[in-house]
Amino acid sequence: MKGHLYQFTVEHLEDPRGQAIDSAPLEFKVRNHDDIFKIVDALKARMPLDETDATAFAIGIKLFGEVMLKNRDNPLFKEFKPQFTEFMKALKKQ
């Protein structure tokens, strides 16, 4: 698959009580057809969200969307595709 290659690292820092968590981070590489950095910048500028929420939203939606495209024959994604397409159209109008 062609596209931009990204590496993600997710660290679990603390539990709901504020206790430190000592666990190995999740690390993975993934390709995406879009430049996620440009999308993050665009959403920060257009969405009424704080910077952290806009970044998390942009990354989450791009990762989810790419998995959906890659697995388009999965019945769960196939059923959800029309709603996701409408959501993305509305998001692009923001």
pLDDT in tens, 33-43: 999 999 999 99
Distance in Å from the first CA to the final CA of the chain: 30
For the chain, give every domain's residue range: 4-92
Q: What is the pTM of this model?
A: 0.86
Task: Identify the pLDDT of residue 93.
Answer: 86
Closest C-alpha among 86, 88, 51 to residue 66: 88
Taking only the tens place, the pLDDT of each residue in 13-53 is: 999 999 999 999 999 999 999 999 999 999 999 999 999 99
Residue in the block written with tokens 């430190």: 20
% of the chain exceeding 70 in pLDDT: 99
Q: Confidence class of residue 94 from pLDDT cuts 50, 70 and 90?
A: confident
Assign 37 to helix, strand or coil. helix
Would you say domain 4-92 falls under CATH 3.20.180.10? no
**pLDDT tens string 55-84:** 999 999 999 999 999 999 999 999 999 999
What is the signed CA dihedral for 85, 88, 92, 94, rounded to 10 degrees?
Answer: 130
Residue 2's φ and ψ, nearest 5 degrees, are: -90, 160
